Amino acid sequence: MTRQVVSRWYLDKFSLIQTLQHLSQLHPQIIPIAIGCDLNIKTFMAFKQLDIIEPILKAVAAEGYTIPTPIQQKAIPLVLQRRDLLGCAQTGTGKTAAFAIPILQLLHEQKPMAPGIKVLILTPTRELAIQINESFAAYGKHTGIRHTVIFGGVSQLHQTNALKRGTDVLIATPGRLLDLMTQGYIRLDKLQIFVLDEADRMLDMGFIHDVKKVIAKLPAKRQTLFFSATMPPEIQKLADVLLTHPAKVEVTPPSSTVDKIEQRLYFVGKMEKPELLLHLLGNKEIKTALVFTRTKHGADKVVKLLQRHHIRAAAIHGNKSQNARQGALTDFKNGTLRVLVATDIAARGIDIDELAHVINFDLPNVPETYVHRIGRTGRAGNEGMAISFCSREERDELKDIQKLIGKTIPVVHEHPFTANAMVAAPVAPARQQQQARPARNPNGQSRQGNNNFRNRRSTQRAR
Ligand code: AMP
């Protein structure tokens, strides 16, 4: 039998697992042996070894995965044992399948089932709700388990019709769920499993009160799965109330930034951020970028700016209709749009394969949000680059972010807009301050090149 050595260039277990998976599909005779990283050979485990039933195995294989991600390896057996679970994991780790697969299996084993909602999944955004529903459709396509998604911002008619037809799994955002419960379309007395997804985000978005109202209506006897990327005290308190002897599964330490994401910081005057953005996007190597602004108005302004410069861009935020948001997301995913500008609330849960660049046009004022934002790139084993603009007014935000991630973000000093960027030296809590090379700086532009650029701009202004 061929022995294949998979060696040390892999950055993390997930990339290695994916490559092993790929290799084993191409050459089933290959025995992957991992050296040069801390991968235990037991980690190379097939879904089969998790005792997943055939109809789900078939669907999962059709999705192209055979190797469970670390959170799936840990969580699936625990959920199948009907344990309560406290999962600390960001999106991008395979978290959705970690709960969807065992839930589908538990339901499938109960067939023929009595009518009624048996599983409720509460998630903060419409986009995430839609994605979870799609995952249930994909993994459950041979199980006959019925699932329905409900969220606000669209007419309720479709949703109430689906509820009337009956569903086993309900995926919901909190506002619409409460609304339809009040109208009498939803009863949760048959509920067996409750999943609270992205609990920290519920808190950030001001949904925690609604979440507590929903929880008050759940049957006391149930299995609860609680997922959160970070564990601020209020979320820990909620977990303590909700869970009974939970198993804890943690795949990335809370608030640790994914190591394979390169981070860069540009100090820049507030008024010059638009020009810096255009300058960076002048680099054609940036094929797509997700740009974060703090406000909806800010997002719209950036889109107008980019469109004026013939860069295909659209915004997604809470003021956009559900259809507009979905349309923009689809156009971004299929490459029709080069830039998607988002506010934090709208962007949460966006799952885009191969997103190489995240640009923080504004720094977030909640430091954990920085981790969530940059986690949009470098997903599923890909490399990523997170670029942040920091103006004089954002020094405190930067300080908090660097304290949270425990490192100093490398600064790019060579760019044309440093003049108004007089910012105090950033805090360097752990590691030495580094001088970073520019983020994929257009055509390897030198300082001389930058000066030329500046001169060009001042000439343009003078005209
Ligand atoms: P999630 O963390 O649930 O948002 O998943 C992130 C991405 O990983 C999604 O695009 C999934 O389709 C993908 N994914 C989930 N589980 C696996 C797996 N075992 N192997 C390969 N890809 C996976």
> Residue 346 to residues 90, 124, 239, 429: CA-CA distances in angstroms?
16, 10, 25, 32
Residue type at 122 in one-letter notation: L
Q: What is the pTM of this model?
A: 0.61
Minimal-distance CA residue to ligand 1 atom 21: 65
Atom of ligand 1 nearest to the CA of 67: 19
Residue 436: predicted pLDDT:
55
Q: Domain coordinates of the chain in residue numbers?
A: 3-39, 54-58+65-250, 261-455
Q: How far is the CA of 234 from the centre of ligand 1 (A)?
A: 29
Residue type at 435 in one-letter notation: Q
Atom of ligand 1 nearest to the CA of 349: 4
Residue 375: predicted pLDDT:
77
Ligand 1 site-directed mutation target among 19, 44, 63, 93, most atoms within 8 Å of CB: 63
Asked if residues 100 and 269 have their Cβ atoms less than 8 Å apart, the reply is no
DSSP notation for 86-117: EEE--TTSSHHHHHHHHHHHHHHTTPSPPSS-
* 380 pocket-lining for ligand 1 (C-beta < 6 Å): yes
Q: Which CATH class is domain 261-455?
A: alpha beta
* 118 pocket-lining for ligand 1 (C-beta < 6 Å): no
Q: How far is the CA of 444 from the centre of ligand 1 (A)?
A: 35
For every one of its 463 residues, what pLDDT tens digit does the chain have, with 9 covering 90 and above? 333 333 333 334 445 555 555 555 554 434 333 333 333 333 346 898 999 999 999 999 999 887 898 899 999 999 999 999 999 887 778 899 999 999 999 999 998 889 999 999 999 988 899 999 999 999 999 999 999 999 998 999 999 999 999 999 999 999 999 999 999 999 999 999 999 999 988 887 788 999 999 999 999 999 999 999 878 788 999 999 999 999 999 876 545 556 668 899 999 999 999 999 999 999 988 889 999 999 999 999 999 999 999 999 999 887 777 778 888 888 998 889 999 999 876 666 566 666 789 999 999 988 878 887 887 776 555 668 899 999 999 999 999 999 888 889 999 998 888 766 655 444 444 443 444 555 543 333 333 333 332 333 333 332 2
Q: How far is the CA of 351 from the centre of ligand 1 (A)?
A: 9
* 61 pocket-lining for ligand 1 (C-beta < 6 Å): no
Domain 54-58+65-250 fold: Rossmann fold (3.40.50)
Q: How far is the CA of 147 from the centre of ligand 1 (A)?
A: 20
Beta strands in 103-155 (DSSP E): 119-122, 147-150
Question: Distance between CA 147 and CA 134 in Å, rounded?
Answer: 10
* 50 pocket-lining for ligand 1 (C-beta < 6 Å): no
Ligand 1 site-directed mutation target among 69, 74, 91, most atoms within 8 Å of CB: 69
Question: Distance between CA 136 and CA 170 in Å, rounded?
Answer: 10
Residue 418: predicted pLDDT:
78
Ligand 1 site-directed mutation target among 57, 65, 72, 88, most atoms within 8 Å of CB: 65
C-alpha torsion 239→242→248→249, nearest 10: -80
**Matching fold, domains 54-58+65-250 and 261-455:** yes
Largest CA distance in the chain: 77
Residue 21: predicted pLDDT:
53
